[in-house]
Amino acid sequence: MRIYLCGMVFAGLVACSPSLPESGAGGGLDDAGTGAPLPAPAPVTAQPLEPAGAGMAAADGINGSDADDGSDRDDVAAQAMAAIGETGAQDADAAAERAANSGEPVLHADPDNAAPELLDNPGISDENDFEAVDDRRSIENDAELIARNRELYKVIDPEALPKRPGGTGPNIVQYALRTQHPKGTQIYRRVGFNKEKRFRRNCARYASADLAQIAFLERGGPERDRMGLDPDGDGFACGWDPDPFRKAVSG
């Protein structure tokens, strides 16, 4: 019953709705002067297109039966493309070989290859080649060359070595070889207070033990130790070790 009532209401609404005007009239598509509708378009007749191979066959004078034999052309075209591909691969291989050989073409081993050209190297002497020397010089020339070399030859007599200048300071190598006692053996008497503290402070002034030993000998060492560089009295300042010099001489 409810469905029937809904249908009746919908039918009443449709009957009461106004009619829509004609969309073609007055829309600007008719003739502006007369208001007449536009004429109907002229009919167009569809014509089928010719196949792509038909025009080529007609231009080349090939009939329809010959055009159907396009498979032969495809085979020829495939063979041509394969030949071009092989040629391109060979060219690429040859270019790679030239690039690896400073741009020069690669010479493969073949008995038919021409013999290499031999060039004279001016940097290599051929004095040991008797034939080559005999073509350039005679025995008289060699005698003159030997005489000139003898005139230029000089014998230098040995001379005494120059003395070391006096301003170089004490020689710690001679001091190491002159002494025989090992490092740490007390030979000289040392007195004073705070010897260890003074030893560390004064030794820190020198960049190496060799320089400290030179300064120690310059200031009266090893008998006197004015700066406290040798608190144990072995005659070696700031831990200086004479053993490397002794071993170098003894071998």
Residue 240 domain flag:
yes
Residue 227 domain flag:
yes
211 vs 113, more confident: 211
pLDDT on residue 241: 94
Residue 151 domain flag:
no
Tokens of 149: 């070399």
State how far the alpha carbon of 187 is from the alpha carbons of 11, 126, 224, in Å: 141, 71, 12
Q: Which residues contact 56 (CB under 8 A, 6 or more apart)?
A: 62, 67
Question: Which range among 112-126, 141-155, 176-190 shows the weakest confidence by mean pLDDT?
Answer: 112-126
Count of domains observed in the chain: 1
State how far the alpha carbon of 205 is from the alpha carbons of 156, 217, 221, 224, in Å: 48, 16, 17, 19
Question: Which range among 54-58, 116-120, 147-151 shows the weakest confidence by mean pLDDT?
Answer: 54-58
Residue 242 domain flag:
yes
Residue 12: pLDDT band with limits 50, 70, 90: low
Tokens of 18: 């106004």
- Percent pLDDT > 70 in the chain is 57
Quick: pLDDT tens for 181-236: 999 999 998 887 888 889 999 999 999 999 999 999 998 889 999 899 999 999 99
pLDDT on residue 128: 78
Residue 32 domain flag:
no
- The tokens 């809904």 sit on which residue? 6
Residue 57 domain flag:
no
Quick: pLDDT tens for 130-143: 777 777 778 888 88
pTM, 2 dp: 0.36
Average pLDDT for the chain: 75
pLDDT on residue 27: 47
Q: Alpha-carbon distance 148 to 142, whole Å?
A: 10
Q: Alpha-carbon distance 211 to 215, whole Å?
A: 6
Residue 87 domain flag:
no
Give me the amino acid identity at 172.
I
Q: Alpha-carbon distance 71 to 54, whole Å?
A: 15
Task: State the residue range of the domain holding 186.
Answer: 170-250
- Percent pLDDT > 90 in the chain is 23
Q: Alpha-carbon distance 239 to 225, whole Å?
A: 14
Using CB atoms within 10 Å of the CB of residue 221, give its burial: 0 to 12 exposed, 13 to 18 middle, 19+ buried.
buried
- Total residue length of the chain: 251
120 vs 247, more confident: 247
pLDDT on residue 28: 47
- Is residue 125 over pLDDT 70? yes
pLDDT on residue 205: 93
- Is residue 93 over pLDDT 80? no
Residue 213 domain flag:
yes
> CB neighbours (10 Å) of residue 230?
27
